[in-house]
Amino acid sequence: MVNGAQRNGPKQPQPPFCGGKRLAVLLPLPIAGPYDYSVPADFVPAVGDFVEVPLGQRILVGVVWGVGSDSVTETKLKAIRRLLPAPPLPDVSRRFVDWVASYTVFPPGAVLRMAMSVPEALLPAALPQAMDLASPPPHLKLTPARRRILALLSDGLARPIAELAREAACSAAVVRGLVAAGALRAVEVPAAPEPLPDWRRRGLDLTPSQAESAATLRAAVSGGYAVRLLDGVPGSGKTEVYFEAIAEALARDLQVLVLLPEIALSAQWRARFIRRFGAPPREWHSDLARGERRRTWRSVAEGEINVVVGARSALFLPFRQLGLIVVDEEHDPSFKQEEGVTYHARDMAVVRARLGEIPCVLVSATPSLETVINARTGRYAELVLRDRHGGVPIPAIEVVDLRHDRPPKGAFVAPSLRRALVETLAAGKQAMLFLNRRGYAPLTLCRACGHRIRCPSCTAWLVEHRLVGRLQCHHCGFASPLPKACPACGAQDSLSACGPGVERLAEEVADIVPRARTLVATSDTLTGPAAAADLVRRIETHDVDLIIGTQIVAKGYHFPELTLVGCVDADLGLSGGDLRAAERTFQLLYQVAGRSGRGDVGRVLMQTCWPEHPVIVALAAGDRERFLATEEHERREAAMPPFGRLAALIISGRDEASVDAAARALARNAPPATGLRVLGPAPAPLALLRGRHRRRILLHAPRAFSLSGYVRDWVASVAVPSTIRVHVDIDPQSFL
């Protein structure tokens, strides 16, 4: 017996089926709501059961959502075909699906699809097969390979085919031959129980202030719903502190969910977890192997898994007895899902905690303004860790004013940063250059005619990726070989790369520190967990001297030898006109600075053309409070989130005129409401994306306004041609 299912207390109570001949079944499809089905003769499903139903020509799996309505005539009803042998979808999960659907203005079926992303998991797992000796047939041909296999099995231990073949140094075909001949038989063996994280192990010694926060979090585990912000500078031991809350939940036989923004980059987090709990947590993200996915989904539902660490989609796992949610790096923009159902995983984690009546811990060194305000107004409790581990302060950020400290012509690294780079590497330490731009150059320009090469299906420049010799669109994936001549005027060798990308920076740096072992880290080079783990290992073992990376390297790593961080363009993103541009820039640069000097005294140099910008001033002063105060003031004045609310409608389609017409019709027909302003339609920031024209309507409403209900009624009341898509984004984060 794997622990969990039994220790998790009584079985989930299922509401009794309350009679009637129809049941509402929610299907994992983007259709308006549940469909009714008739109850079969031989069994009566209960609410939450996974059932197979016919839909059109297909057979689908859905979830019994409640009793049916009278919305459809008796004659159209089809019968539920069968009950699937899986634990029912828990009551909390169903309420969560409905809540998220209602809030995001997406059909509940679209949300359910995220909760049943593993159809195979609904069937019981085939038990692993092992081979054992059968009574030997009378005329068995005995070859040497066959003899070895039979000899191996004489110890009475059944083995899987592959293992047997390996041990006997023959191919699996020989084993199968013996099975066919009747000399071996397959037996089912229980899966080897995987070790679970163990809360009884002793954690690291905590400082008094860490211990105090840990005790508060431990106490919170039995306290029902509450949200706490765990706020501490990089290196203050936030992870070790919330590990104590995890230990407490595990001690109470509850499941724990930890959300991380980039699960693929979590190798160091995972190592710390194993050190604390003796076994790895289960991972959940989009590029898991199918079998792994199946096993995890199923055992989360069975209550056999106690800790899941995952990307945002892990929120929709069917936890049987969830007792704690931790959202690490809660400020991270990647918690916002932009494709399909548009939701913010941090906010939905809070909702999931409330529905489950369990605590939620939001963790960050640079909490979002939303969370800070929630903490300040008492909606969230706040725990602050002020001291950096080992007493090493966050290095002061030195501003490099590019207007005076100019890089050489055609280069991007200023003299002062060049000197720092040379000194750091000469001292045998590591350095990191941060530039949030993939590729070689963000723009390719013809010197003869001024033509700029753009994506044929998006409003975007093509980015040169010199390593692969291509021009690429970062929005739709379009790629073309680097042309020899200008596509507009035909001039030969007139194309010129404008602006820096990490590849170009690497080229420049090779001239400054020719002997440095340099590594470029971007989403192009770090394609998965293995590549990320390899990167971390190479930095830890000092296999590389210089790391050049995009925001991917700004995450919560810990590298003791890294003592210089250079931010090549701190202004990137400051002038985007985006509501959160300043905040994101501050968070990113503060996190980048936190990479430096964790083990030793470090330097952080930040290149800017705009030293008097409030973000740069606050960063240079190391003054987070000052930054937050400025930001809060500006947002409050403009009634922007969290002091007001926004929703965006993106209207898109292939035909520009009909997109325009639909967008105008929507805006014209927005019902008037107090305090609500309809802005637009205007071309969306990416007015053309993947060949679709896009217009945006923004809604601005007071804080207490119920945007979801308003938008649902509004969009439902306006007839839009079926070729036009209307995408609703409640609480938009980025404006792209």
Q: What are the residues binding DNA (CB under 7 A)? A: 29-31, 35-37, 54-58, 71-72, 76-78, 722-723
Does residue 285 contact residue 337 with C-beta atoms inside 8 Å?
no
| Helix H or strand E segment including 645 | strand 644-653
Shortest CB 714 distance to DNA, Å: 21
* Helix/strand/coil for 40: coil
Distance CA 734, CA 723 (A): 25
Nearer to DNA, 245 or 476 (CB): 476
CA distances from 648 to 193, 407, 638, 713, 717 (A): 48, 41, 17, 15, 17
Interacting residues of 435 by C-beta distance below 8 A, sequence separation 6+: 500, 501, 502, 505, 548, 549, 550, 567, 568, 569, 572
21 φ, ψ (degrees, to nearest 5)? -100, -10
Strand 546-549 to 518-521 pairing: parallel
Nearer to DNA, 70 or 637 (CB): 70
Nearer to DNA, 119 or 136 (CB): 119
698 φ, ψ (degrees, to nearest 5)? -110, 140
Distance CA 531, CA 670 (A): 49
Nearer to DNA, 106 or 705 (CB): 106
Nearer to DNA, 340 or 576 (CB): 340
| Helix H or strand E segment including 286 | none
Q: Which two three-digit tokens encode residue 177?
A: 């031959």
Shortest CB 172 distance to DNA, Å: 34
Distance CA 429, CA 431 (A): 7
Shortest CB 30 distance to DNA, Å: 4
Shortest CB 716 distance to DNA, Å: 15
Shortest CB 27 distance to DNA, Å: 8
How is residue 606 annotated by DSSP?
A: E
Distance CA 157, CA 149 (A): 12
Q: How many CB atoms lie within 10 A of CB 10?
A: 5
Q: Which residues pair with 401 in a beta bridge?
A: 608
Nearer to DNA, 58 or 386 (CB): 58
Does residue 110 contact residue 102 with C-beta atoms inside 8 Å?
no
Does residue 348 contact residue 100 with C-beta atoms inside 8 Å?
yes
Distance CA 676, CA 591 (A): 36
Interacting residues of 620 by C-beta distance below 8 A, sequence separation 6+: 396, 397, 398, 399, 606, 611
Nearer to DNA, 11 or 78 (CB): 78
Nearer to DNA, 147 or 654 (CB): 654
Shortest CB 317 distance to DNA, Å: 20
* Helix/strand/coil for 708: helix
Shortest CB 680 distance to DNA, Å: 24
Nearer to DNA, 30 or 66 (CB): 30
Nearer to DNA, 119 or 685 (CB): 119
Shortest CB 40 distance to DNA, Å: 12
Nearer to DNA, 78 or 419 (CB): 78
Shortest CB 293 distance to DNA, Å: 16
Shortest CB 111 distance to DNA, Å: 12
Question: Considering only CA atoms, which of 667, 666, 655 is closest in space to residue 723?
Answer: 655
Shortest CB 304 distance to DNA, Å: 29
| Helix H or strand E segment including 505 | helix 502-512
Cis check: omega of the bond before 193, within 30 degrees of 0: no
Nearer to DNA, 77 or 485 (CB): 77
Shortest CB 70 distance to DNA, Å: 10
Query: Where do we find the tokens 């679709």?
Result: 692
Shortest CB 179 distance to DNA, Å: 36
Distance CA 482, CA 503 (A): 15
Does residue 30 contact residue 41 with C-beta atoms inside 8 Å?
no
Nearer to DNA, 340 or 683 (CB): 340
Distance CA 218, CA 216 (A): 5
Nearer to DNA, 76 or 484 (CB): 76
Distance CA 125, CA 120 (A): 9
Shortest CB 271 distance to DNA, Å: 38
Shortest CB 440 distance to DNA, Å: 34
Does residue 624 contact residue 684 with C-beta atoms inside 8 Å?
no
CA distances from 103 to 374, 675, 708, 731 (A): 19, 20, 5, 10
Q: How many CB atoms lie within 10 A of CB 313?
A: 17
Q: Which residues pair with 497 in a beta bridge?
A: 444
Shortest CB 717 distance to DNA, Å: 18
Nearer to DNA, 30 or 622 (CB): 30
Q: Which residues pair with 227 in a beta bridge?
A: 360
Q: Which two three-digit tokens encode residue 224?
A: 């029902």
Q: Is the dihedral of CA 500, 504, 506, 507 positive or negative?
A: negative
Nearer to DNA, 56 or 378 (CB): 56
Q: Which residues pair with 546 in a beta bridge?
A: 431, 518
